[in-house]
Amino acid sequence: MDKIKMTTPLVEMDGDEMTRVLWKQIKEELLEPYIDLKTEYYDLGLPERERTRDQVTIDAAEANKKYGVAVKCATITPNAQRVKEYNLTEMWKSPNGTIRAILDGTVFRAPIMVKGVDPVVKNWKEPITIARHAFGDVYRASEFRVPGPGRAELVFTAADGTETRQTINDFKGPGVLQGQFNLDKSITSFAHSCFQYALATGQDLWFSTKDTISKQYDHRFKDIFAGLYEAEYKAAFEEKGIEYFYTLIDDAVARVIRSKGGFIWACKNYDGDVMSDMVSTAFGSLAMMTSVLVSPDGNFEYEAAHGTVTRHYYKYLKGEETSTNPMATIFAWTGALAKRGELDDLPDLTAFAKKLEKACVDTIESGVMTGDLAGLWEGEAPARKVTSLEFLRAIRERL
């Protein structure tokens, strides 16, 4: 059989620890035998970030902008302990943060569903994708502990010196105070990314805030989304047969629980933080959560939502076999390959990605799985817990 050809390189961002081990095995077992893999390789492993003084991360993000599609392995975000462990000259920033800052994107997270690992919410039949706005609000707030009686005011001093004042509260005793902000520019990018991702995946888009209470702040989010939808996306949504739907956050929560799934739920920063943990836990396992960063100008970076699985890596270093789940990392590759196939008009590449995804799901549904899933298993076939490599070989056989 001839290998499937690619025309544009995929930006490949290698990473750290157990996921770096899986990365190589996934390529050897499931990709290279079938695809003439054309990638532009960036090693985002911590030693190479140290050697290049993190320039490699910036280069990788620029390449993502140039070619449009990247696949990324999980990477260590250094803390004090990692600085010692890897003998670092600096506590390098989170690669994901650096990439997000350069691409200016929104992260979409969706679970991989398999029969036998059932959502806690029994009517959820399709994945729910959470799109979290990752800028501003409470994460960039200024806070103040009010010591005693006094007046708190919002003061805005315009560039020309004009002051606008508004009383927040006349404190009669001690309390707390907080100042939040967001930017039209950031909200607009968030909205573009959400509309584009809905179109790219053919799913309805829901957006929720608390605009009845927050008549200026949250209302601005609602207006920006509505304005952009009317001006730039409505026709394309209608053509695709998908819907943009705005509702209050409390109404959205109730509807999400009653829903069958199969849509994107765009959330403000704090709502997305809380709701993504709730939704992902209710779907099953972190090891089955996919993640894609979509930039407002249409670049994509696919990855797994989990980290480098350090605890398993230390076992691996001692020569022990591990049963680490490679699903989310495989799906990062298939997501990126399918997108490359779509953009370059290579239907064989896209079809291969879909077949590989099906082989993965079928393997688990047949009862062969890694330890994390064996603990959650409720399927008909008895669960057989295998090592990561055995799992990849079982997928390959099925493929």
- Can residue 61 be called a binding residue for ligand NAP (CB under 6 A)? no
State the DSSP string of 1-43. -PPBP-SSPEEEEE--HHHHHHHHHHIIIIITTTB---EEEEE
CB-nearer residue toward ligand NAP: 202 or 375 = 375
**Which of Mg ion, ligand NAP, none does 286 bind, CB closer than 5 to 8 A by kind?**
ligand NAP
Residue 170: helix, strand or coil by DSSP?
strand
Q: Which among Mg ion, ligand NAP, none contacts residue 117 (Cβ within 5 to 8 A by kind)?
A: none
The separation between CA 90 and the C-alpha centre of its own chain, rounded to angstroms, equals 27
Nearest to 12 by CA among 37, 32, 49, 30: 37
Min CB(368)–ligand NAP separation in Å: 15
Q: Do the beta carbons of residue 224 and residue 191 sit within 8 Å?
A: yes
**Residues in region 283-302 near ligand NAP by CB under 6 A:** 286-287
Interaction of residue 137 with ligand NAP, rule CB under 6 A: no
Among 309, 330, 346, 360, binds ligand NAP (CB under 6 A): 309
Binds 175: which of ligand NAP, Mg ion, none (CB < 5-8 Å by kind): none
DSSP state of 202: T
Which CB, 83 or 253, lies closer to ligand NAP?
83
Q: Which stretch binds ligand NAP (CB under 6 A): 84-92, 115-123, 304-312, 374-382?
A: 304-312
Q: Please, which residues have CB within 8 angstroms of residue 257's CB and are 6 or more apart in sequence?
A: 121
Span of 73-81, 166-174, 247-255, 336-344 interacting with ligand NAP by CB under 6 A: 73-81
CB of 70 to ligand NAP, least distance (A): 13
d(CA 208, CA 256): 11
Q: Which helix (H) or strand (E) holds 171?
A: strand 163-171
Listing DSSP states for 242-263 in one string gives --EEEEEHHHHHHHHHHS---E
Interface with Mg ion by CB under 5 A: which range of 269-277, 278-286, 346-354, 376-384?
Answer: 269-277
Binding mask 354-393 for ligand NAP (x = CB under 6 A): ------------------x---------------------
Give 110-157 as a DSSP string.
Answer: EEPPBTTB--SSTT--S-EEEEE--SSGGGG-EEEEE-SSEEEEEEEE
Residue 308 interacts, among Mg ion, ligand NAP, none and using kind-specific CB cut-offs from 5 to 8 Å, with ligand NAP
> For tokens 């930006």, what's the residue?
11
Distance, in Å, from the CA atom of 111 to the CA atom of 355, rounded to the nearest integer, reads 18
Does 76 engage in binding with ligand NAP (CB under 6 A)? Answer: yes
Kindly state the smallest distance separating residue 279's Cβ from Mg ion, in Å. Answer: 12
Nearer to ligand NAP, 152 or 376 (CB): 376
Candidate residues 57, 129, 209, 324; the one interacting with ligand NAP per rule CB under 6 A: 324
**Cβ–Cβ < 8 Å for 55, 24:** no
Nearer to ligand NAP, 44 or 252 (CB): 44
Question: HSE of 292 in the Cβ direction (CA atoms, 13 Å)?
Answer: 30
Site string (242-281) toward ligand NAP, x via CB under 6 A:
----------------------------------------
**Which residues would be at the binding site for ligand NAP (CB under 6 A)?**
74-77, 96, 286-287, 303, 306-311, 324-325, 372
